[in-house]
């Protein structure tokens, strides 16, 4: 039987709608259950705090609980592996970080390729670091520290968090760009490095601003320069390393990623909600209190940023012959 043209057009329109509705319905339904955000750092660290702030924001916006799951170990590789192995349905996310960019070269036998296996969703925050020395140390500025290191090669020790962390490789980048023969002493954690700097066991510390802020404000540590592209609001009088060492920039950045093959609709939804969060006045104020700078942008922006960071830190790790502990 031949159908009238009007009925034929109506059926064709209905069939077309049926073919597109499931995809749209899936995007609108996401998420259908609680979302896990894997964090490779320890609870209470600045990246962990940012993860929890963003998880709270996303919980409100998505209508499902987003909870943080700390999977510490192997310089954040355990958390990354858990997300690489997860279903690409948007219900398992990763707090991606500068450590992931470093690990790509630092570890020769990873079971994953970070750039290939994790889909970038959005940048969150970068935390600048600060180069400090004990208040009794003679150098009053970064150029003076460089001069002292060249006068006393191998005699000046700066403590950092563990080998392979952004703080440690930032120190190696500083040495590479300045030629200063400084010894980097990697500690199990930042507080131990600060303690030894205060007691004179090492001459200073490279750490996040929050790690050293109390000692800087008390005068027991002297801040020489921050490692970010611009000055930190918590230390507005402290210059950037770039003012004395052109092209230098380093930060402990974090963002959100998902397993590869996660749908574009889910990635775009999460990116939109995250960028709205970074623009929220209350969340912006909390980020500033932590000494961080927001990293808004598209998934493509974050992907390009990750690629550039992976190349930069890969060059540093290779140049300094850094090996995992």
Q: What is the 3-state secondary structure (H, E, C) of the chain?
A: CCCCHHHHHHHHHHHHHHHHHHHHHHHHHCCCCCEEEEECCCCCCHHHHHHHHHHHHHHHHHCCCEEEEECCCHHHHHHHHHHHCCCCCCCEEEEEEHHHHHHHHHCCCCCCCHHHHEEEEEEEEEEEEEEEEECCCCCCCHHHHHHHHHHCCCCEEEEECCCCCHHHHHHHHHHHHHCCCEEEEECCCHHHHHHHHHHCCCCEEEEEHHHHHHHHHHCCEEEEEECCCCCCCCCCCCCEHHHCCCCCCCEEEEEEEEECCCCHHHHHHHHHHHHHHHHCHHHHHHHHHCCCEECCCCHHHHHHHHHHHHHHHHHHHHHHCCCCC
Backbone angles phi, psi at 146, to 5 degrees: -60, -45
Are residues 177 and 278 both part of a single domain? no
50-59 exposure pattern, b = at least 16 Cβ within 10 A, e = fewer: bbbbbbbbbe
pLDDT tens string 6-33: 443 443 444 444 344 344 334 568 999 9
What is the CATH number for 297?
3.40.190.150
Check: CB of residue 118 under 8 Å from CB of residue 200: no
Q: Are residues 135 and 213 in the same domain?
A: yes
Of the residues 219, 243, 267, which one is the last residue of a structural domain?
A: 243
Average pLDDT value for residue range 137-145: 97
For residues 95 and 143, state if they share a domain: no
Write down the pTM of the prediction. 0.89
Last residue of a domain, one of 243, 276, 307: 243
Quick check: 321 pLDDT over 50? Answer: yes
Please check the confidence at residue 37 and state whether its pLDDT lies above 90.
yes
Classify residue 1: in a domain, yes or no.
Answer: no
Q: Is the pLDDT of residue 280 over 90?
A: yes
The whole-number pLDDT of residue 13 equals 43
Please check whether residues 223 and 266 belong to one and the same domain.
Answer: no
Kindly state whether residue 15 falls inside one of the protein's structural domains. Answer: no
Q: Which CATH number goes with the domain that contains 135?
A: 3.40.190.10
- The whole domain housing 105 covers 33-126+251-320
Note the pLDDT tens digit of each residue in 200-255: 999 999 999 999 999 999 999 999 999 999 999 999 999 999 999 999 999 999 99
The Cα–Cα gap between 45 and 68 comes to 13
pLDDT mean across residues, the chain: 91
Pairing of strands 66-70, 35-39: parallel
114 and 136: one domain?
no
Q: Do residues 256 and 122 share a domain? A: yes
Query: What pLDDT, in 10s, does the model give residues 38-92?
Result: 999 889 888 999 999 999 999 999 999 999 999 988 889 999 999 999 999 999 9
Domain boundary among 243, 278, 301: 243
Q: Which pLDDT does position 15 carry in this prediction?
A: 40
Same domain, 199 and 213: yes
Spatial neighbors of 200 by CB under 8 A, at least 6 apart, are 134, 136
The verdict on residue 27 lying in a domain is no
Q: What is the pLDDT of residue 42?
A: 87
Total domains in the fold of the chain:
2
In a domain, 270, yes or no: yes
């Amino acid at each position: 039987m031949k159908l009238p043209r009007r009925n034929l057009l109506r059926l064709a329109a209905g069939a077309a709608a049926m073919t597109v509705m499931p995809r749209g319905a899936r995007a609108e339904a996401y998420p259908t259950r609680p979302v896990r955000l894997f964090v490779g750092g320890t609870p209470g660290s600045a990246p962990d705090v940012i993860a929890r702030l963003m998880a709270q924001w996303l919980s409100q916006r998505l209508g499902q609980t987003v909870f943080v799951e700390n999977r510490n170990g192997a310089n954040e590789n355990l958390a990354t592996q858990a997300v690489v192995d997860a279903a690409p349905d948007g219900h398992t996310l990763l707090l991606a970080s500068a450590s992931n960019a470093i690990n790509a070269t630092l570890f020769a036998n990873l079971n994953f390729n970070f750039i290939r296996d994790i889909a970038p969703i959005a940048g969150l925050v970068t935390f600048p670091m600060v180069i400090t020395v004990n208040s009794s140390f003679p150098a009053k500025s970064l150029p003076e520290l460089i001069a002292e290191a060249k006068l006393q090669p191998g005699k000046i020790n700066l403590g950092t968090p563990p080998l392979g962390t952004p703080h440690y490789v930032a120190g190696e980048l500083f040495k590479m760009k300045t030629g200063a023969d400084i010894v980097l002493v990697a500690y199990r954690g930042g507080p131990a490095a600060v303690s030894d700097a205060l007691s004179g066991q090492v001459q200073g510390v490279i750490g996040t601003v929050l790690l050293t802020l109390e000692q800087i404000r008390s005068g027991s540590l002297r801040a020489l320069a921050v490692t970010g592209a611009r000055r930190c609001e918590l230390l507005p009088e402290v210059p950037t390393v770039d003012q004395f060492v052109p092209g230098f920039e380093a930060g402990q950045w974090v963002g959100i990623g998902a397993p590869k093959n996660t749908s574009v609709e889910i990635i775009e939804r999460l990116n939109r909600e995250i960028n709205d969060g970074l623009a929220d006045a209350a969340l912006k104020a909390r980020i500033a209190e932590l000494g961080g700078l927001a990293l808004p942008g598209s998934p493509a922006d974050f992907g390009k940023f990750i690629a550039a960071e992976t190349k930069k830190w890969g060059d540093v790790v290779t140049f300094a012959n850094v090996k995992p502990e």
